[in-house]
Amino acid sequence: MILRITEAQVCGPQWLRLAFNDGTRKVVDVTPLLDGPIFEPLRDAQFFARGVLDPVCGTVVWPNGADFAPEALWELQPVEHAKSV
């Protein structure tokens, strides 16, 4: 199965609430993935909030062309205290 994101919502400065096509649902902090010039704008909470689900690619994308492989997001540990977010 090719892993895809089916639902995505920005729910914090660098947090995403995600649902994957394998049934996994979790909130993740993407800060560890923000290396390199394409990801630098995502460190700004207002810019990060512009992330949306691209249903064709099956991942979250930003206006500057930044995106993450669904596998990279799936491998992130869930944010422990995110249940109330």
Cβ neighbours, 10 Å, residue 4: 15
What integer pLDDT is reported at residue 1 of this predicted model?
Answer: 85
Mean pLDDT by 10 residues, the chain (85 residues): 96 96 97 97 97 95 97 94 55
Distances (CA, A) of 74 to 10, 44, 53: 15, 22, 15
H/E element, 56: none
Could you tell me the domains of the chain? 5-79 (3.30.2020.10)
What integer pLDDT is reported at residue 80 of this predicted model?
Answer: 78
Quick check: 48 and 27 in contact, CB under 8 A?
no
H/E element, 3: none
What integer pLDDT is reported at residue 84 of this predicted model?
Answer: 46
